[in-house]
Amino acid sequence: MMNYPNFAFQINFRSQTSKARLGRLVTPHGIVETPAFIFCATKAAIKGATPQDMWREETQIILSNTYHLMLQPGPEIVDQMGGLHHFMGWRGPMLTDSGGFQIFSLGHGSVAEEVKGRRHSSRPKSLLKINEEGATFKSYIDGKKHVLTPERSIQVQRSLRADLIVVLDECTPFHVDKAYTEKSMHLSHRWAERSLREFQRGEAGIQALYGITQGGIYPDLRKVSAEFVNSLPFFGHAVGGSLGADKSQMAEVVEMAMEPLDPSRPVHLLGIGGISDIFYGVKQGIDTFDCVHPTRLARHGGALVPPQVWESLGENPKGREHMNLRNARFREDPSPIDASCGCQTCKSVSRSYLHHLLKAGELLAMQMLTIHNIHFMNRLLKAIRNAIASDKLDQEEKKWVA
């Protein structure tokens, strides 16, 4: 077993009624109480919030995307500036991904959406070649050719210096058949071994490596892949590969992926951040989640709200996880987004004001809604942790999901 000095994952409490657990993920930049939500600072910046805004709204951990930073400003610049934490002024724990997801999703022109079972997009295909060596792709910035190998991904992530880093894998669209999924899984396993070897050449105690469990929607493959990652000295695991075509299949796949995974390691669920998905994942033993949804939604005028907000408006909250402040109904509404929310936005302005800002096209609308949604997610995960501690997760879920 590999040693990860300066890192630890302590499980302090296990639910009796589900696989939910309370953990402490210890990193050189601080401790993350799990389950936790990881916010996406894709290009080393949260769109609409400063690091100080993030701290004030009680954010524990953020991530950046290796793919974007590799192309702009480039890992050399980030390294020269002292690594991501110093570069962007964020002093808490950080994760970077391998760069693979964006290459494959932009490359296939649709997998980013497909993996999560969403609609097809029409982005240009930029993935030129996948072979044993790695993936060749064109930069979305200047069209230049780049090769991302498992070794290169680790080298770039070493330069970026996030606390938690991830092996390179092949991300397949959900529609591929079992034969392709199996072939791809074995390729990803070989890439994982190469990633780990490259990682072990570096200095210990600065970063911790996550392996990724593959196998798509096939239970037997999920088992093979879990046993494979369990056998290698990864610090943690991420649930990768196709999660299926829709939410119900995703639930099944997460369950079959989690079942055989080493329960002593922290598990991250890649790219999932819906409120009901988080409750489901937590009950399957997922420790961390990430998704662009809360911050992206904010930039489009959406504020995350619990069912109680719809009830106070005399409406059925069923299936609604956010409120669109562009809606004319909020024009003269003097209430804050959510009277029970303690974020800076809810403490200072009304729905009417936010509606005005959105109508007037003011930048500040995005900032204020981003602050609210960040606070909402941190408050949600805190409520989840408290509910796990008292083994009342199902009751808690009713307060957040209608």
For residues 114 and 271, what is the distance between their CA atoms, to the nearest angstrom?
12
We find the least distance from the C-beta atom of residue 363 to a second copy, in angstroms, to be: 5
For residues 14 and 12, what is the distance between their CA atoms, to the nearest angstrom?
7
We find the least distance from the C-beta atom of residue 69 to a second copy, in angstroms, to be: 9
**Secondary structure (3-state) at 270:** coil
Helix-then-strand count for the chain, H and E? 17, 16
Q: Which is nearer to a second copy, 220 or 332 (CB)?
A: 332
Q: Which is nearer to a second copy, 291 or 357 (CB)?
A: 357
Residue 251 binding a second copy, by CB under 8 A: no
Q: How many C-beta atoms surround the C-beta of residue 311 within 10 A? A: 12
Query: Which residue is listed with tokens 């991530």?
Result: 63
Candidates 95-103, 165-173, 286-294, 356-364: pick the segment binding a second copy (CB under 8 A): 356-364
Q: Which of 53, 169, 287, 290 is catalytic?
A: 290
Per CB under 8 A, the list member of 259, 350, 382, 383 interacting with a second copy is: 350
Q: What is the DSSP letter of 96?
A: E
| Angle between helix 393-400 and helix 363-389 axes, rounded to 10 deg | 160
We find the least distance from the C-beta atom of residue 331 to a second copy, in angstroms, to be: 7
| 97 is known as an active-site residue | yes
Residue 362 binding a second copy, by CB under 8 A: yes
Residue 12 binding a second copy, by CB under 8 A: no
Residue 339 binding a second copy, by CB under 8 A: no
We find the least distance from the C-beta atom of residue 360 to a second copy, in angstroms, to be: 4
Whether the CB-CB separation of 166 and 212 falls below 8 Å is answered with yes
Candidates 4-12, 175-183, 190-198, 349-357: pick the segment binding a second copy (CB under 8 A): 349-357
We find the least distance from the C-beta atom of residue 171 to a second copy, in angstroms, to be: 23
Query: Which residue is listed with tokens 């909020």?
Result: 330
- Cα angle, residue 269 at apex, residues 263 and 273 outer, rounded to 5°: 135
Q: Which is nearer to a second copy, 204 or 364 (CB)?
A: 364
Q: Which is nearer to a second copy, 208 or 371 (CB)?
A: 371
Q: Where are the beta strands (DSSP E) in 28-172?
A: 30-34, 36-40, 61-64, 94-96, 127-130, 135-138, 145-148, 164-166
**Secondary structure (3-state) at 136:** strand
For residues 77 and 273, what is the distance between their CA atoms, to the nearest angstrom?
31
**Secondary structure (3-state) at 51:** helix
For residues 138 and 147, what is the distance between their CA atoms, to the nearest angstrom?
9
| 394 is known as an active-site residue | no
Per CB under 8 A, the list member of 48, 107, 109, 240 interacting with a second copy is: 48
Residue 275 binding a second copy, by CB under 8 A: no
Q: What is the DSSP letter of 173?
A: P
For residues 153 and 392, what is the distance between their CA atoms, to the nearest angstrom?
41
Candidates 211-219, 220-228, 268-276, 346-354: pick the segment binding a second copy (CB under 8 A): 346-354
We find the least distance from the C-beta atom of residue 70 to a second copy, in angstroms, to be: 12
Residue 292 binding a second copy, by CB under 8 A: no
Q: Which is nearer to a second copy, 193 or 333 (CB)?
A: 333
Residue 49 binding a second copy, by CB under 8 A: yes
Sign of CA dihedral 343, 345, 350, 354: negative
Q: Which is nearer to a second copy, 64 or 153 (CB)?
A: 64
Looking at residues 64 to 123 of the shown chain, list those that interact with a second copy (rule: CB under 8 A). 68, 72-73, 77, 80-82, 87-89
Q: Which is nearer to a second copy, 55 or 310 (CB)?
A: 55
Whether the CB-CB separation of 243 and 215 falls below 8 Å is answered with no
Residue 359 binding a second copy, by CB under 8 A: yes
For residues 226 and 207, what is the distance between their CA atoms, to the nearest angstrom?
22
Q: Which of 97, 163, 169, 277 is catalytic?
A: 97
Query: Which residue is listed with tokens 């077993």?
Result: 1
CA 177 to chain centre: 26
Footprint of a second copy (CB under 8 A): 43-52, 68, 72-73, 77, 80-82, 87-89, 299, 331-332, 334, 344, 348-350, 352-353, 355-357, 359-360, 362-368, 371
List residues with catalytic annotation.
97, 290
